[in-house]
Every structure is written in C-alpha cells, then in structure tokens.
Amino acid sequence: MDIAKYIGLYLLKNQSCYIHGLGSIEMRRKPASYDGRNLVPGVSEVVVVPVNTVDDSLSNFIATNEQISISKAGTALKDYVAVALADIQAGKEVLIPAIGSFFEVNGKLQFATAPQLLLAPPPIPAEKSLPRRTANTAGMAQQGGYAEQPQHAPAYTAPAPTPQPMPQQAPAYPPYPEEEKKGGMNWGRVILFVLILLALIAGVVYVAKNILKVGVNTPTPVQQPMTVPAPADTISQQVAPVVDTAGSAIDSTETMSVEPMPVAPAAQPAVKGPASNFKVIINTYDERARAEKRLSRLKSYGHKVELIAEDSSMFFILIPVSTYRADSARVVDSLRRTYNPDGVSVY
C-alpha cells in the first residue's frame, strides 16, 4: 500500500493534510507579483503549519480507495509514519511523489516543494505610464523602448486611403425556429400541458373503472323474508236465534259453524315457507395470513364476513345468509358467481 501516494492525492484534493506523527501540511498559492519591470506569475508551494485540529480524514480516504477497514488503514498509516520519522532523524528526506519531501533542520520539521509545483512561465515585461502612440509622435520601435522623433522633423502626412470595394451583402436567411421574438407562443410548453392533461384524464378514467368494478362485484344484500299470516280455514259466525215452528226460540248463546261464502282472495305474496339462516363458505385457505388479507379486503367493500379456523391448516371465510328454503340454491349459486367461481359450500 503506497501511503505517500495517498498523502499527495489527499493534499491536492483538500489543499490541507494532517498526518498523525508528522504534523499538518498545506498547499498555498503564491500570487503573481510585479517587480518594477516584469509581471511574475504565481506558483504553488507546500509548507508545514502548526496543528490546529486532529482528525482521521486521511485514514478514511485511504480506506475508501483501498476498500479496506478504517482500522487497517490507520495501522498502515501509523507504520508509514514510524518509518518516515526514523529516516528523517537519520538525515534522509521522505519523498511525497509530485508534492515534495520532508526533511529536518535543527530539529525542526520542514517541507521542500517539488519543482513541478514551482514551475511557472517566464515573467512578462511591463512598464508603467508608457506614452500613448499617435500619428504625430509614433517612432520606430527599438530594443528597450521607443525613440522619440525630433520636434523639428516635418509632420508625417498619411497617404490618401485607397478606395475599398463595397462588401457584398450576405443573403438574408430566415431566422431559426427557436429565435422567436418575445411574447410568441411557446409550443413546447403547450405540448407539455396537453400531455399532463391527458395523463390526468387517463388516471380519472382508470379510477372510475375500478370503482364501478367494485360496485358490480358487491352482492345485493339478501332481503329478510316477510312473515305473512296464514288465512283461517273456517270462519265462525254467530247467527241470530232460530225459532222453530212451535214458536220456541233456540238459546242465542249457542253458536254454529257454517261454511264460509266463497270470497275472491286478495293479492298477497306467495308464501315460500319459513326463513332459513345458514352460513356459506366462500373461500378456503391453508395460511392464516392469506385468509386475513381476503377478510380485510371484503370488509373494506362493506361485506359482513367472518373468519373461522377449522384447524391449524384450514381457515374458512364465511358469509351469513338468511333466506327462504326454496331460494337457498339460487342464493348459493349467486354467491358462487360473485365471490368464488371455483365453488362455494354451505358451512
């Protein structure tokens, strides 16, 4: 593991690097300067600075790039510092590639910047307050400056300008489509708005279809049978006292039963017999989680269902039914079509 390489990379990335045991180094940019005649470009240099904070950022950087743990990276860095300190105390320089090297002077740690960082272009000659060249004062350029013409020299007369041919006008091309004047219609925004509107309409249609589907699948609640009193077989009527031919009256407290007069029956619903209450198994599961999921979904639709565990591996979803015995088969068939086409059974 090349620890010196990672020290250089970390310094170039963050401009500052703390090395536990060696100290902290910083890369500083020396600005450009002016020495009176030349512009001297700026250079970069690396210096040793007092330690402000102690952190493990370098160990984290090494661990991330080497794909190892931070503890292993810290151990490798500690071993490198131990070897580097031994070399520095022996009078050797510890090289950081492309950055410079550590060395010791009078027991104090120093850093020598690599020549690559100190490399700079040559200075640019520059002088302050140069005279402005005009038609009357312009002279011949000489090495080291400009020579002024004597004041008694005749004024320079510029030659008459040569007539230049008129440039041909470039053909006018229509503007590009995107070069529209301000205030014009932005077709891109119009298309985007239309697409968003179509997406919203599709979402509304999808939701409406799902709601209608749920409404269709919801079974019609079974109506409770209406109890109708059975008509009496005979009608007891009290009759007036009957007088025989002898004139003796029969006791009026005696009653007699006579056959009722044929009366047209009123329109009444047909009686199909007494009501029957039972439960129908609409689903059977071998896992309780699946059964409870089906139960909660049916209850969310408003159905009155219940869960019964037959044993540890058999769970029934039941729905109570109250109807006439004559309509039991029709109701069970309706429940089969609504809840489970594979078949339902009476519990």
Name the band, by pLDDT with cuts 50, 70 and 90, for residue 9: very high
- Model's pTM, two decimal places? 0.36
Instruction: Establish how many alpha carbons lie within 13 A of residue 168's alpha carbon, considering only the half-sphere containing its beta carbon.
Output: 2
Q: What is the reported pLDDT for 258?
A: 40
In this structure, the chain runs to a length of 347
- Write the CA distances from 199 to 195, 202, 207, integer angstroms: 6, 5, 12
Q: In the chain, list all ranges with CATH 4.10.520.
A: 3-118
CB 309 within 8 A of CB 321: no
Would you give the distance in Å from CA 279 to the centre of its chain? 47
Q: Beta-carbon neighbour count of residue 153 at 10 Å? A: 10
| 155 vs 153: CA distance, rounded Å | 6
Q: Beta-carbon neighbour count of residue 306 at 10 Å? A: 13
Where is average pLDDT lowest: 63-72, 194-203, 304-313?
Answer: 304-313
Nearest by Cα to 347 from 282, 292, 293, 280:
280
Of 62 and 159, the one with more pLDDT: 62
Q: In the chain, list all ranges with CATH 3.30.70.
A: 275-346
Q: Which two tokens stand for residue 36?
A: 């009176």
| 102 vs 112: CA distance, rounded Å | 7
Would you give the distance in Å from CA 201 to the centre of its chain? 23
Q: Beta-carbon neighbour count of residue 97 at 10 Å? A: 14
CATH fold of the domain at 3-118: HU Protein; Chain A (4.10.520)
Where is average pLDDT lowest: 47-56, 80-89, 289-298, 302-311?
Answer: 47-56
Name the band, by pLDDT with cuts 50, 70 and 90, for residue 175: low
Q: What is the reported pLDDT for 129?
A: 58
CATH annotation of 275-346: 3.30.70
Q: What is the reported pLDDT for 60?
A: 93
Where is average pLDDT lowest: 39-48, 80-89, 116-125, 143-152?
Answer: 143-152
Kindly report, residue by residue over 132-168, the tens digit of the pLDDT: 554 444 444 444 444 444 444 444 455 555 666 665 6
Kindly report, residue by residue over 211-261, the tens digit of the pLDDT: 876 555 555 555 555 544 444 443 333 434 443 433 433 343 333 444 444
Q: What is the reported pLDDT for 346?
A: 84
Side chain identity at residue 336, one-letter code: R
